[in-house]
Structure formats: C-alpha cells, structure tokens
Structure 1
Amino acid sequence: MRRASSFEIVAARAWNVLNEGRPFTPVFVAGVFLLCHIGDWGQPAYWSAMAGALGAVLPLFVVYFFYDFPLYLRNYLWLPVVAAVVIWEGTRDVLGLWLAGIGLFFFFTVFFWGTFYYRMRIGTPWNNFARFWKLVLQHSDSTSGNAQEQLPKTMLLLYLLHLTYGWIRGGGAKAADWGTLYVFIAAVWLLAWILHRYLFDWKPKERTESPGTLPRVGEAVSRKVYVLVVDGMRKERFEQANAPFLKKLRAEGTEFTSMETVYPARTVVCFSSMFTGAYPREHGIKSNFVYRLGVRTETIFDSLRKVGKTGRLLGIAHLIDSMGDDVDAITAVMRHDRADAETVEMAKRIVEERNPDLMVVQLIGTDQIGHSRGVFYDDYIEKIEEADRLLENFVGWLSERGLLEEATMIVCADHGQAIGIGGHGHLDEGERFVPFFLAGHGIRRGVRVDAPHSLVSMAPTLAYLLGAPYPDHSRGPVLTEALESFGDRSAAIEKKEGYGSS
C-alpha cells in the first residue's frame, strides 16, 4: 500500500492540462506550429512573426477555450473550416501542416496516452493501441481524446496561424485582409454562442433547496456512515455484472433508480458536489483541471468538525485539489489489477488508526478500465465484479470489528461512462444516471424510489444521518424516502406524486 507522493500530486495536475480539452487545444496547436517551424528557430524574425500570429489568432483560441463542442455539437465545427478554405482560397500551402497536426494528435492520443501512458500507469497491454484508436474516434466528451472535436479545432487554428504568420513575414497583408480575419473570428464566436444558447440543452435542472428549507437536524441517526464509491460505474453495466454482494445490499436497503450526476460529470467535479451539496458554479470546481485549489463552500467534513466528529475521503490525488487535507490520496500509479485491492487495504488501515465517523472510499479501477480499454468490453464488467468482491471483503471486515452496529452504508458511482475512451463529462448516454442505494441502520428495507434525485443530496443526507449542520450551500434535499424515521411520510409523498416506490 502506498500513498500518493508529492510528485504524483503535482504530476496529476500537470497531466490534466493535456487531458482536459480546453487547455489541450491551445497547448497542442501552438506546439505543432512550433515543431513544424523548428528550422526557423534561429531566426529572430521568426519569433516576432510567431508572436504576432499567435496574438492575431488569440481571439479564436479564447472562443475555443470557453466553448467546447461535445456530443453532436462537434459536427458544427467543420463549418468554419470549410468557410476558411473558401474565403482564403485553398489548402495547398497548409496541407503539410494539417498532416503534421493530425499525425501528432493520433500519436499523442493513441500511442503516448492510450499505450505508453496507460502501460506505465496501470499496466495495460503494449498493444492497447489496436483498440484505443477506435475509442478515440468514438469518444464524444470534450477531452483531448475526442478526435471529432479536436481535429477541426486544430485544423482551423493551424490554418489561421499559417495565414497570419505568412502575412507578417511577407509584409503583404492589407487592412482589408485583417478586417476579413476578424469578421470571420466574430462569426465563429457567434456560431458558438448560438449553438450553446439554443442546442446545448441537456444540463440537469438544478435543485433549489437551501439549508433553511431542509429537515431540522437532531441527534445522529447513525453512529458511523461508510460511503463506497465505484468510480465510473455505468448503471446498466452494473446490472449486467455478476455482483451478488452489492445487489444483495441494494435489495436489503433503499435504491434510488433515477439518481443523476452533476454537469460536467468529471470526477473532481462530482466529488466536490457530492460532499458540499452544491453545484459547480457555487463550489468553483468545474473540471478536473483545477485553477484555484479548494472548494469555495463548506464541505460535509467542515460540518462534522463543528460537532466534534471526523470524516476521511480515501481516493486519488486529483481529489486533494478540491477537498485538501480531508483526503488521504492513494497512488493511482499501479497495475489496474491491484489498484482497488490496495485501496481497500488502505481503507482498513485508516479505520484502524482514525476510526472516522464518516469514511468515504473511492475505487478507481472500473473508471480506469473504462478509459483505457472501453466500456463495452469484458474488461469493464470484470472490474465491476472485482469491486463487488472487494467491497464484500471490506464490509465483512467492518462487521467482524463491530463497526457496523448503528452504521449506514451508501453505495454509488460518481458518474457513468459512455462509449469511446470511457467518456464522461457532458452527459452522453450512460453517463447521466448512476447506481445509488443505502442500507444498514436507519434505512428502510426493500424500497425502490423512482423519483428524480441528484448527487447533491449526498452531503445534506450525510449531515442528517450524523447529526451535523448542513454545509452552507447544500442544494439537494435530504433523501428522506430512505429513512425509517420518515417512512410513513415518504410513502405518502411517493404515492401522491406517483413516484413508483415499492
């Protein structure tokens, strides 16, 4: 068992510059242009022209940074590429640059990322490229691995860099040429705005509850709460898996069949929302690439401290960016067949040493396999089944030590995964709704709740169970449908609303 080192924590942050689509685009395009002009680096005129070209095209870089084009929106990215070719009459001079950009993109994604990186990090086969290229072409979320988004962005930016670089070095551009360029960039911005204003319509509706509207917190319902998160577990693939322990636990408790993740459905974002009860616009974590460390709202861990209780979150190094010292970061650099097993062993050690009132355990193996090998392969199902066996071992270990007396368990995923490289972020099919159920002390048995709910209900529910004040920006309701103390009231609400609880 090995905790994440300081180097790994910094490296994880650096990797997200290349993993997240928004920072990747400018870094990659500028890098390709520099490499393609490596023979000119010794010329002072090159650097001034290069700086001028980057400055000229900067407004388009900004547009593509703030507007991403996931799912079907990416199809519209080819319109500006075609328009640029028509306006500036041809592609002959830029074909070599385009081919270099396309080649380097697939080298980075398929060989460096999909083969070498995953081999070094989690031990995937050296021939993973044979599968990974298909995943890159199918991927629909706005990461660097979305070929159908990154390629048209790259081609247009390289085209305009090449054009303006030639104008500056040749000294032949007229005011009308620059005017045409900025009218074009303005048109691209307008297209992006229209698409996102009228077609980007799949974000979940936010809950509007506040701590003042939630049930009054009294004495703790539960002595301990254990939250077991199988990162990236797609809902219907969980149903297809042979996971007898988790399914038995679900049958003995309360299941929420329409539990929705938040937008964007990235791991650090989801965990931040789960344990603050707030949405990304409030807690400030809007991607895995974190500019400002730490959430801007109270967390459930802050709430527990107010009543003299403790909580720990055991997970990957990325989570330190939002939850700070409340995270025990275990290294994610180990073979995928050991990652979850070692996480469970580390969880046991934390319980033995600290015995927290709230223990959150993140199993990362399912998510890793979804990203590296794809969701619709046997590898993915096998990781879910392995997680089932390991969680059975952990819960059995807790039971042997009497730690499940008056304890509640919550099992969930932070997000699902879509086709491609286990995509998640923009709520494609398979990402949006996640497995979620509670069992143990204070939980109604054999109940299924079909009413829509959001993962932002995690924090207020934990606060209620543990007798702590609600985090200051909690937006989700307490999941009272699952609580024995609310049983009669919840059943009446479900019947009235037609939620289909059984």
Structure 2
Amino acid sequence: MKQASGFEKIAARCWNLLNEGKPFTPIFVTGTVLLVYLTQWSSIAFWEAFIIGLGAILPLLVLYYVYDFPLFLRNYLWIPLMAYLLLFDTYALSAALLGVGLYFFFTVFFWGTFYYHLRIGTSWMNFTRFWKLVLKNSDSTSGNAQEQLPKFLLIIPIWSMVINASMGSGPSFQWSNLLYLYAGIWLFSFILHRNLFDWKPEVKPDYTKEIPTTSTNDRVMMIVIDGMRKERFQEANTPFLDSLKKNGTEYSQMETVYPARTVVCFSSMMTGTYPLEHGIKSNMVWKLGVKVETIFDTLRKVGKSGRLLGIAHLVDAMGDDVDTVTAVMNNDIADTKIMEGARRIMLDKNPDFFAVQLIGTDQTGHARGVLYDDYIQKIEEADKLVEEYVGWLEEQGFMENTTLIVCADHGQADGIGGHGHLDEGERYVPFFMNGPSIAKGKIIEDKHSLTSVAPTVAHLLGAPIPSHSRGAILEDAFQDRKEEIR
C-alpha cells in the first residue's frame, strides 16, 4: 500500500477548492470574467473597472457562501436571474455563454474524464456518461449544474455590466436598482431557508450517558465502505456481509450526519458529536484538526491505541491518528491495496481499535454513477475483500473477543455520486455489528446516528467516552447477551 505523499495531501486540499460548491463559485466567475476581457489586461482602466465590478458582485458571492441551495432549493435560484432581467436593459450574453461552455468543459471533460482517468484509471470515454451525472447531481458541489448555472448566469453579466459602464464601453445603469436587487435576493434567500430548509437530522442536546460496562472487548475492528448506498447494497450479491449482518445486530435506521461529506462523517463518528461542535463542516477543512476529544484520545488515557486507515483528506481532521492511503491509483486495485495496508498495520501496530476506509465504491459512484452496474460490482468486490480480511484476522488471532462494525459513512444520490445534503439514498446507511458480545439475528428499527460510533467503541473497550460525545451507546446490540457474557 502506497501512502499519500505530502504533495497529495496539499493537492487534495487545493482540489476541494474546486470540488466544494462554495469556493468554486467565486473562483469560476473570476476566471471567466478575466478570460472575457483577456485583451484588456494591459489597460489600467480595465483593472480599475474590474475591481469596481468585483466590489459590485461581492454581496452575491457572500450570499452564495452563506446560503446553500441544494436539492429542490436550487430551483429558486432562477428567480433572482429573472428579477435582474426585469430591472436592467443590458445582459452580457456572450460572457454568459462563455461561462456555460467553460463550466461543462471543466465538469464533463476536465473533471469527469481527464482527472478521473489520471487519478483512478477511468476510461477516456467517461464523458459520454458523466454529462448526465452533472445534470442530475442535486448536491451543493461544483458538479451541480442546476445550482451553479443560475448563479454564474447572474453574477457574470452583472460584473460585465459594471466593467463596461465603468470603462465607458457600455450603457450606464442605476446603482440603486442593483441595491434593490441585492436587498430583494437577500430577503428572499432568508425567507426561503427559514421556511424550506428543514430536512437536517435532529441534533441531540445532551451528552452521552454512561451505562454500566457488561463486558470489555479486547479489540474493536471497523470497516467503513465509503459511499455505500443502502438500497444498492441490499440489491448486491454480498454473501459474507449478509452473513455478518444475519449473525449480528443490524441498525436499520442508522442516520448519517449533516452535511454528509466524508471528512465530516468520519469526524462525527470518531468524536461522537456533530459538525457544529467538532468544527469540520465540509471536506474543505480551513482550520486543521477537530476541536474536541476523539476516541483515539480517550483510548490513550487507558493505555490503549487506535488507528484510522483512510485517504489523505482525513489527516486534516484527525492528524497523526490517521495512516493515509493514496487515492491516486487505479480504482480496480484501490481497495485491495488498502486491505494489504490494513494487514501490515495490524501486524506492526496492533491497535485496540482499528477503522479501515474502503474507497472503491465511493469513487465508482462519483465517476460512473450509483444507478449503474459498475457501482453494484464495487460493493460485491468489497464483500469479497472483507471476507478475505476477516479470515486473515481470525488466522492471526486478532478476532478473539473482538467486535466487528461494518457501515458506510454516507449514502450517495443520483448524479455524480453526490452526497452532502441528504438527497434520496444519502441519509440512511448500512450499519451492523458482529462479535461475541453482540446479539445474533437482531434488527434495531429505532432511529440512531453515526455519532454513536465513538461512545460505543469506548464502552466496548473500557475507555472514557469522548468529552463532547452526544451519540447514544448502542447498548441494544449487546443487551441480550449480558447473561451469557457473565
């Protein structure tokens, strides 16, 4: 297994500037406007007008950073554009069309074809499918055409209008109309989000309650199949995972956190709390490190150790507790290499808690879509790899008095495998536990949250619960085994 290099970690952070929708919008519109006026770069008058225009569109950039417009909310983004067309007589159509062309070149060819080919070996013909995924994607990323298009079809013409008017090459306009427009958009956005943005999961107000320890496991192993959509998992042929689930306890209503981004979800699983508290609110981590105690911290308090094997992004949240794996390799071998690395870590470091992130399913969802056979095949490959890995753990004696947790960090929606704002297929994830202290053949239908991972692991290993944990200990999973354990 090749580790993620220092360069890859930096590159991953830079890529998130283009992947996450909020930073992408100002970067994209700025680049487009500069290309529109490429021949004017030598003119001081242009740069003065450019700065004036930047100041003029700044309220919109701030608005679109403050407010998300995911899922059905993106439909309302066309209303401000229509209001602009009613208030102003000028519209920079050529600049807007250039923006449309550049956007689809970036998403469909550069991202969906060139980038994925170099990074994970996707076919050079991937653009023939990827354009559909860009149009379907409902999440607030740069790959959401239905959200990004109305944003820059409004911002770019306003910026061009101000530049042309400032340079005397276009008609003048009333600044008061622009102020009225912005005031209306801000009020409209506030009302919209106050009344319609209501699908976030409930945040538990209280910290985790300790419960008496009925048994202490020697080890907890956790396998996270990144981005495994629950109903697609149920459709796949996964005999080993099905056996683990059947002979363990399944949580059928396990809910991910909001926003359902990989780094956010892992941070919540390892701290037991929500983004508002641990501070990681997207894959774009502006300030490194979670703000609260993790399961790794509490294990150290009792002389035990924990490790997380995952992609470079996770270092931004949990630092040295992460062993990184490069995400720049052919997706057909990525999970195989990760499992090889997991074996070495077990032999070299022998952690009491070990979480392994498999990335193949998620990457296939992003590059090829979740409603195609490619995605099902990746889930089935993960099943075989988990079977081989668990078999090896048993041979090495690592599974004695060990609880195994298998889950996904989030599901995936249609489109580019988008996830974050809990579209269909994202919110509820596969989650089951298996082991000597875990009840067999039990299905828990009550709603639970992935924030339960950290306190449950702490409970099983006899460690303190992380200080800000709010998730419930999953005691139903071992409740029926108390007498047998004693």
**TM-score for the superposition, normalised by structure 2:** 0.97
Which position in structure 2 is the counterpart of 1:205? 202
In structure 2, give the amino acid aligned to 1:256.
Y
Gaps of 5+ in 2: none
Where in structure 1 do 4 or more consecutive aligned residues deviate above 3 Å?
171-174, 484-488
Aligned counterparts of 1:220 and 1:267: Cα–Cα separation in 2: 31
Does the 8 Å CA contact 1:314/1:362 hold for their aligned counterparts? yes
Counterpart for residue 282 of structure 1: 277
1:117 aligned to 111, 115, 118, which one? 115
Shift of 1:485: 6.4
Q: What's the counterpart of residue 193 of structure 1?
A: 190
**Deviations, residues 253-282 of structure 1 (Å, cap 9, x unaligned):** 000000000000000000000110010000
CA distance in 2, matches of 1:152, 1:414: 31
**Is 1:416 aligned to 2:411, yes or no?**
yes
CA contact (8 A) 2:161 2:170 kept: no
**In the alignment, does 2:138 pair up with 1:143?**
no
- Which residue does the alignment assign to 1:87? 87
Q: Partners of 1:300 and 1:24 in 2: how far apart? A: 33
| Map of 2:332 onto structure 1 | 337
Q: Does the CA contact (< 8 Å) of 2:411 and 2:427 recur in 1?
A: yes
Does structure 2 conserve the Cα–Cα contact (< 8 Å) formed by 1:209 and 1:477?
no
Q: Is the 8 A contact 2:93 2:157 kept in 1?
A: no
From 258, 264, 285, the equivalent of 1:263 is 258
Deviation at 1:208, TM superposition (A): 2.6
Aligned to 2:310: 315
Superposed CA RMSD: 1.4
C-alpha separation in 2, matches of 1:121 and 1:127: 15
Alpha-carbon distance, 1:189 to partner: 1.1
Local SS of the residue matching 2:174: helix
1:5 maps onto 2:11 in alignment = no
Partner of 1:164: 162
| 2:210 is aligned with 1:214 | yes
Structure 1 stretch displaced more, 60-69 or 132-141:
60-69
SS in 1 for 2:138: coil
The equivalent of 2:471 in structure 1 is 476
Sort the Cα spacing of 1:40 and 1:172 in 2 relative to 1 into closer, same or farther, 3 A: closer
Rounded to whole Å, the distance in 2 between the matches of 1:69 and 1:331 is: 32
Using structure 1 for the length normalisation, give the TM-score. Answer: 0.94
Aligned residue pair count: 483
Q: Is the 8 A contact 2:214 2:482 kept in 1?
A: no
Candidates 241, 248, 251, aligned match of 1:253? 248
1:357 Cα deviation from its structure 2 partner: 0.2
2:402 maps to a residue whose letter is: A
Shift of 1:214: 2.7
With over 3 angstroms needed to count, the CA separation of the structure-2 counterparts of 1:442 and 1:398, relative to structure 1, is same
Please say if residues 438 and 481 of structure 2, whose CA atoms lie closer than 8 Å, have aligned partners that are also in contact.
Answer: no
Looking at structure 1, the residues matched to 316 and 215 of structure 2 have their Cα atoms a distance apart, in angstroms, of: 30
Does 2:32 align with 1:37? no
Q: Tell me whether 1:128 sits opposite 2:126 in the alignment.
A: yes
Which segments of 5 or more consecutive residues in structure 1 lack a partner in the other structure? Answer: 489-502
Aligned to 1:438: 433
Asked if the contact 1:290–1:321 (Cα under 8 Å) also holds between the matched residues in 2, the reply is yes
Shift of 1:209: 3.1
Q: Tell me if the contact between 1:254 and 1:444 (Cα under 8 Å) persists in the aligned partners.
A: yes
The corresponding residue for 1:235 is: 230
Counterpart in the other structure of 2:288: 293
Structure 1 equivalent of residue 14 of structure 2: 14
Correspondence list, 1:167-182, <5 A: 167-170=165-168, 177-182=174-179
AA aligned to 1:122 is: I
Amino acid at match of 2:72: Y
Residue of structure 1 aligned with 2:341, choices 337, 346, 353? 346
Q: Which moved more, 1:71-80 or 1:187-196?
A: 187-196
Contact 2:439 2:481 in 1 (8 A): no
